[in-house]
Amino acid sequence: MANKPKFYITTPIYYPSDKLHIGHTYCTVATDAIARYKRLKGFDVMFLTGTDEHGQKIEDKAAEAGVTPKEFVDNIVEGEHGVKDLWKLMNISNDRFIRTTDDYHVAAIQKIFKKMYDNGDIYKGVYKGKYCKPCESFWTESQLVDGKCPDCGREVQDAEEEAYFFRLSKYADRVRDLLVNTDFLEPRSRVHEMVNNFIDPGLEDLCVSRTSFTWGIPVDFDPGHVVYVWVDALSNYITALGYDNDKYADFDKYWPADVHIVGKEIVRFHSIIWPAMLMSLGLPLPKKVFGHGWLLLDGGKMSKSKGNVVDPYLLSEKFGVDALRFFLMRTFPFGSDGNFSNELLIQTINTDLANDLGNLLSRTTAMADKYFGGVLGEGAGATEDENYLNGLYAQARQSRSEVQLAFNFPEGDPVKYDVELIRAALELREKYEDAMEHYAPHTALAEVFRVIDRANKYIDENAPWALAKDMEQNSARLAHVLYNLLEVTRICGVLLQPFMPESCAKLFAQIGAAENVRTWESAAQWGALDPCAAVHKGENLFPRVDMDKALAELEEAEAAARKAALPPIELEPQLTENVDFDTFCKSDLRAVKVKACEHVKKSAKLLRFTLDDGTGADRQILSGIAAYYEPEQLVGKTLVAIVNLPPRKMMGLESQGMLLSAVHTEHGEEKLNLIMVSDDIPAGAKLC
């Protein structure tokens, strides 16, 4: 197609400081669905995502892991279950992936910084203020909330150093105007937040270089300074198109961006700092920033440090990638926060996918198969009246008017059901489009599912199984009913493609929908499906999930993952205080042989040992190790006991000493091993 309209859409570029979780997946899947929707509509889409790899947090994490920062980020971006792997798994259709450590980006940032320095918007001064390390954000005293970072609530540090500043204050009025008087930032509630909390209290100049760490892009004309990570990160949206570099050459084609999709906590950077930087560079502004809400867990933000992140790998492995993508987009209004739970996920799969869509598809294809051998035949397609209705809708779309129908069918008249179904299907694309254009994918999906519900009701209204009892009489009607069902399934399938691309391809194969009836245009055409196409009931695309079983399995897997994330081995710290030799020698350590061992009645912990300590008399020791050993395993073993501790009573029994064991913690669990020595050592031998 000549001169396709362009659409440039971006996600935030992710910090590869930890593995990504379902919250990041939410943001990327939403952007992907919008990008796919635009492609479906015929746009030439540029969809960019990537990683934001500089900053002190990454430098610190790498040092903790004992690797260089580059090795550290390489592993999280390119490694197994890394960022790129995750997007591949989630079927993300990004056209480009930028890493801020890419050479072309680094060189371009140096040029961008220099341009703003040369035009006087960046100047050198002294930075005094507060710095939130985890957020890599500078704050003034007045911006702090209860003395803490206003974004994450954590402690901030005093900071004072020579630094470069960006004249953000100079752009305050223009940015305010942009936010208040245009629809640059959505949802609208975020505009009030930005204006009231940041602009109106007075925009101060922004510190845009650091000297206290080195993992950043060096300011090439002043060694020792690295570029503030947000200046580096935000510019990715233009460097990835080739701005100030030769790696790409489509800046003129795609800039300005049509939309930056971002989470609500980074709206400030995208709606204040970014436009001001672009104004300074003399570049056109993006058309829109959309600030979506957070996926919460138990009402709070997910975070690695709280140990409450949800793993997208685990969920997609269990329920399928498309089911997970669908759930994320169907359930949570995009502009608001939403509470994630496994129950909600399974419920959505069972209700919408297994019951509604799954049943519609499998019942319809099964009946087409059973009653017509999979081919309904020419006569089953749209009737003349239905074609006329189709035409009316096409005209109304062109003239932007509404279709008014004055029919009044009596209840029970099959034509009434047909017309209702066909109208619902013909009106769907416009409603869907309206929602998608307003960044409300959840509403778009709700519209699709309203039509799917209508179609399921149509099955009950027409009771095809009853019609099938008299094929001679009803064959034509039955074929038409099934055709209508296939057609409505097709139209819904076309519009579900951006959300569940793989499942829709399978759905189309089952209903015999050729490529030319999978298109955006065909989603507004009734009767486009070939009534002679071969329909076959294939695999069940959306199997029902057993809620209790799946929840138990998820809980187990999540517990195992939490455990695996704990340090593999933790040791008691060594004592630093010396013990003098004579004191040490006062402990009488002896080899002892286990003559008998049994559980102490009514105690879950204690084992009672009868030991040969070489004196000829039995020694009884009680030891709290029942969780680690079965008594019979220990009989005959040679252990080590300290025999000159004062006797002690436990559960009414006397313990004459203590058995030595080694203890450590493994993945958060305490482990204990009795010290066993060679059986060649006689009972009573002294250990020294």
Q: For ligand MSP, which is the closer residue by CB, 15 or 243?
A: 15
Q: For ligand MSP, which is the closer residue by CB, 19 or 429?
A: 19
Q: How far is the CB of 24 from ligand MSP (least distance, A)?
A: 5
Q: How far is the CB of 226 from ligand MSP (least distance, A)?
A: 16
Residue nearest ligand MSP (C-beta atom): 263
Q: For ligand MSP, which is the closer residue by CB, 266 or 639?
A: 266
Strands (E), 70-156: 96-99, 122-132, 137-139
The rounded distance, in Å, linking the Cα atoms of 528 and 514 is 10
Encode 568-603: b = buried (16+ Cβ within 10 Å), e = exposed: eeeeeeeeeeeeeeeeeeeeebbbbbbeebeebeee
Q: How far is the CB of 554 from ligand MSP (least distance, A)?
A: 18
Encode 499-528: b = buried (16+ Cβ within 10 Å), e = exposed: bbbebbeebbebbbbeeebbbbebbbbbbb
Task: Please compute, for residue 587, the number of CA atoms within 13 A of its CA located in the half-sphere on the CB side.
Answer: 15
Angstrom CA distances, 427 to 393, 408, 485, 523, 536, stand at 8, 19, 16, 10, 28
Name the residue with tokens 């049943």. 359
Q: How far is the CB of 152 from ligand MSP (least distance, A)?
A: 11
- Alpha helices, H only, 188-307: 188-194, 229-234, 236-239, 251-254, 267-268, 274-281
Sheet containing 669-674: order of strands = 569-570, 661-666, 669-674
Q: For ligand MSP, which is the closer residue by CB, 257 or 485?
A: 257
Q: For ligand MSP, which is the closer residue by CB, 565 or 660?
A: 565
Q: For ligand MSP, which is the closer residue by CB, 152 or 561?
A: 152
Q: How far is the CB of 98 from ligand MSP (least distance, A)?
A: 10
Q: How far is the CB of 102 from ligand MSP (least distance, A)?
A: 14
Q: How far is the CB of 137 from ligand MSP (least distance, A)?
A: 11
Q: How far is the CB of 58 from ligand MSP (least distance, A)?
A: 10
Q: For ligand MSP, which is the closer residue by CB, 229 or 376?
A: 229
Q: For ligand MSP, which is the closer residue by CB, 262 or 349?
A: 262
Q: How far is the CB of 167 from ligand MSP (least distance, A)?
A: 21
Torsion of CA 302, 304, 307, 310, to 10 degrees: 50
Cβ-based neighbour number of residue 662 at 10 Å:
9
Q: Are 257 and 10 within 8 A, CB to CB?
A: yes
Q: For ligand MSP, which is the closer residue by CB, 24 or 38?
A: 24
The rounded distance, in Å, linking the Cα atoms of 551 and 669 is 24
DSSP string, 649-664: EETTEEE-SEE-EEEE
The rounded distance, in Å, linking the Cα atoms of 346 and 352 is 10
Angstrom CA distances, 357 to 363, 476, 480, 566, stand at 10, 25, 20, 41
Q: How far is the CB of 197 from ligand MSP (least distance, A)?
A: 17
Q: For ligand MSP, which is the closer residue by CB, 12 or 498?
A: 12
Q: For ligand MSP, which is the closer residue by CB, 26 or 609?
A: 26
Q: How far is the CB of 269 from ligand MSP (least distance, A)?
A: 7
Q: How far is the CB of 335 from ligand MSP (least distance, A)?
A: 12
The rounded distance, in Å, linking the Cα atoms of 145 and 150 is 5
Encode 259-273: b = buried (16+ Cβ within 10 Å), e = exposed: bbbbbbebbbbbbbb
Q: How far is the CB of 246 from ligand MSP (least distance, A)?
A: 22
The one-character DSSP state at 625 is -
Cis peptide leading into 501, omega within 30 of 0?
A: no
Q: For ligand MSP, which is the closer residue by CB, 136 or 418?
A: 136
Name the residue with tokens 């930032």. 185
Chain positions contacting ligand MSP, by CB under 6 A: 12-15, 23-24, 26-27, 52, 233-234, 236, 262-263, 265-266, 294-295, 301-302
Q: Are 422 and 526 within 8 A, CB to CB?
A: yes
Judged by phi (left if over 0) then psi (alpha if -120 to 50, else beta), residue 3 lies in left
Q: For ligand MSP, which is the closer residue by CB, 268 or 454?
A: 268
Closest C-alpha among 540, 489, 542 to residue 324: 542
The rounded distance, in Å, linking the Cα atoms of 661 and 1 is 77
